Structures are given as structure tokens and as C-alpha cells.
Amino acid sequence: MLMKKSKIKMLVLSLTGQCNFACRYCYAEQHPQQTMDFRTAVKAVDLAAASGKPFVLQFSGGEPLLAFPVLRDIVLYVRQHKLPAIMQLQTNASLLTPEKVAFLRDAKVGIGISLDGRPELNDKLRQLPDGSGTCRQILAGASQLAAHGVEIGITCVVTSENVDQLAGIVEMAYYLGNVRRIGFDLLRAQGRGGLLTAPSAQTLARGLAAALETARLLEQRTGKSLLISQLERVELLSRGALNGFAHCHSLNGEAAFVDAQGNIYACSSFVGDETFRLGHVDTGIDEQRQQAIRTLIQTSMSFCNDCQLFQLCGGGCFARWHGAGCTNQAYEVECSLKKVSIDWYQKKHFI
């Protein structure tokens, strides 16, 4: 049975698998390398909009700005048809120009960039194809955004190489001046991520606690607050705005990741894996497969329901859990990330 009006809360368009960076942990290196055409993108957007409910539309890749013409056309399509899409762009920021920034700002496209620490540390992880560092290009793009009054979010991928210096990314955020939010994204084993080492639970706990304390101190000194994605999720769970498996929409079968060829998957980490393929933009989402994948994910991680912290945790990332080779047990490193966040939130609000 094909369901063309599946309720999608998160639609990710991988506009191209190509990228001008060669980050050492990239899990998207095997995504289709061609550029998504406008017809494919429109079909995906219409599929998500069919329910009439608001949904997040994220432009991703590869590096989505390599496909800026189709990105621009889709943004205009969404605005012209008044679709209920909350548009976001996840970019390495290196290809931003004043013209592109102005367009994205005026179209109200939220922007997130990737940065993994102070320059010397970032450049060990986020590199150009020739092995040279990328921080200079990233900061130039961030400066373009700041000059146009655009607030941004930062995603920091945490590995064993930067876990001890997570406080540095908080300092970088305050230095840039236009960073509104930081999210700490643990290493995934898919793609090149399998070549790096994840941090231990103990080092992750120390590194994250140091970052949160740095954010607290800098907020006191500057009067400017910095949102931390992990703490935001705890807050939403604590007041009932989220419940159950709430780490991401994939856990509840409400996410759709579309590659440049129009194939639809439950998660960006599983592009090319038929087990997690939901359908194609030409035929829609297979409702039975959608339900089966949702059941597979939640059944695989059913141990989360037995944890006393589940109501404030929302479960872990299935892709990381699966990539770590876990079976019938939690991924200790991610549990550490969640426990530190919960403990920090509770101390801040209840002590």
C-alpha cells in the first residue's frame, strides 16, 4: 500500500552528495553524487506538505550550497505556494557570498554550520581534499552571516580527538557573536566515521560538563545566553512538549531523507541500505515499510523504556547505536551525553 499523505515532520533533501570538504568522519560520502533536479525536489516537498501540517524542510548534502540554484528555486516554490515548511540549511559555510546570505536571510531560512573546535583542532577533523584545514573558510562564511545580522547554530561532532576541548567550541561561539545555539553530535560509524574512534563515556561526561560550565560562566559575564540543543530537548521532555522516543523524528517514523535520485530513507545515515528505504518521490512512501521500520527501531531500542531517565532522555540515536554494533543494550557514550544533560538541567532548574 502506498501512502502519498504520510505525516512527515522532518524532510531532509540531500541536494548533492558532492562536497568541497573531505571531513575525516563524514558519513555521507557514499550518497549519490549528482545534483537533485527541481522536479524531484518539488515532489518530495509536496509529499511532506500533503498533510497540511507544518514540517521542517532541511537542505543538506554533501554541501548543499554546491547546488544553490535548485535550493533557491525550492525556497521560492515553498514561499510562492505558502507551504507550511520551516526551512533550514546545514552548511560548511565556505561557499556563502553576500548575495546568497541576503537571499537566505530574506527567505527566513535558518542556518546551521559545522565547527568542531578552535582552529587547530577543527582543522584536524574538518579538512579539504588535500588535507589542509577548513577553519579559515568556515569563519569567513560565519562572518558573512554576522555582517547580515543572521543568527546561526553550530553543530560540533564529538570524537576522541576533540572531546577534551569541547569548552573551546563554546568560546568560539561567543567570539563569533551571532551564534544562538550549539548541538553536540556524537560520531557516527557510517561512512568515514568508522575510521575514527568515539570518545569514552567518561571523557564525554567530563568534556560536556566543562563545555556547559563554560557556557554558564560566559553567560554571567556577557549577559548573553547560548542555547544548548541537548538541554533544550530535556526541557521539552520535562514539560510534556515531547514524549516517548523523542531523540529525532526518525524514531517515530515521521522523518524522510531524500537523496539526489529521489529515493526516500528513514534516516540520512542509511542511504543505500534497502532495510531503511521508505520509497521514492515518484510513488510516495510505502506505509507498511514506514510502520515496519518504526517498529524495528523502537523494538531494537526497547531497553530504553526500562531506564528511569527515559522520560527526560527520549532515547538515543538509532543510527549511532546501530553503527556501534550494540545489541539489546544501550550505547554507553550516548547515555553519558544524555545523563550529563539531564543532570545539568535539573540542577539549574530545581536546586
Assess if residue 337 is contained within a domain: no
Question: In b/e form, how buried is each residue of 41-50, taking b as 16+ CB within 10 angstroms?
Answer: bbbbbebbbe
Q: Which helix (H) or strand (E) holds 155?
A: strand 152-158
Assess if residue 150 is contained within a domain: no
Q: Do 266 and 293 form a contact (C-beta atoms < 8 A)?
A: yes
pLDDT value, residue 62: 94
Assess if residue 306 is contained within a domain: no
In order, the DSSP letters of 294-344 are: HHHHHHHTGGGGGSTTHHHH----HHHHHHTT--SS--HHHHHHHHHHHHH
Assess if residue 160 is contained within a domain: no
pLDDT value, residue 258: 97
Assess if residue 127 is contained within a domain: no
Q: Do 27 and 192 form a contact (C-beta atoms < 8 A)?
A: yes
Which CATH number fits the domain that encloses residue 50? Answer: 3.20.20.70
Mean pLDDT in each 10-residue stretch from start to end of the chain (351 residues)? 63 96 89 95 97 97 97 98 98 98 98 97 97 97 97 97 97 96 94 92 98 97 96 96 93 96 96 96 96 95 94 94 90 96 89 54
**What are 331's three cell numbers?**
550505547
Compute the distance between CA of residue 122 and CA of residue 107 in angstroms, rounded to an integer: 30
pLDDT value, residue 6: 59
Domain of residue 57 covers: 1-91+244-300
Q: Do 233 and 242 form a contact (C-beta atoms < 8 A)?
A: yes
In order, the DSSP letters of 177-218 are: S-EEEEEEEE---SGGGGGS-PPPHHHHHHHHHHHHHHHHHH
The total number of structural domains that make up the chain:
1
Assess if residue 158 is contained within a domain: no
Mean pLDDT (the chain, rounded)? 94
Compute the distance between CA of residue 54 and CA of residue 61 in angstroms, rounded to an integer: 23
Bridge partners (DSSP) of residue 292 are none
Assess if residue 46 is contained within a domain: yes
Compute the distance between CA of residue 248 and CA of residue 316 in angstroms, rounded to an integer: 9
Assess if residue 261 is contained within a domain: yes
- Residue 205 vs residues 149, 156, 208, 218: alpha-carbon distances, Å: 34, 15, 5, 20
